[in-house]
Amino acid sequence: MIGRLNHVAIAVSDIDAATAVYRDTLGGTVSDKVPQPDHGVTTVFVELPNTKIELLEPLGEGSPIQNFLDRNPTGGIHHLCYEVDDIIAARDHLKAEGARVLGNGDPKIGAHGKRVLFLHPKDFCGTLVELEEA
């Protein structure tokens, strides 16, 4: 059901400093910062030959990333994003298998302009999983 790894998301408290590490120290190609108010984050994507790194900084009050950073002040891996061909079929299959979809279960539009869902980390070996429709 799952396809390729779309990205690994890393929560950071200072997206400019993190971008500099990936661009200047590691030599990565990075995108511009993009506020994602519907998700409470600002994002920067680092392009890799086989996937992407998504840097996430809290945006606004109640950002879910802020809660993560409160528990992990130096930041860290926040979630893994896998592609699926049909997000509704994937959701229905996963729910039938007992997996919990976060939120109301309806896909939202993600940072790439595609439909996404998040799955409860307790159902996936302690890892928050994002599914993105390919």
Q: Which residues are catalytic?
A: 130
Taking phi over 0 as left and psi of -120 to 50 as alpha, with beta for the rest, 86 belongs to beta
Residue 5: helix, strand or coil by DSSP? strand
- Name the token pair of 117: 């869902």
- What is the number of residues in the chain? 134
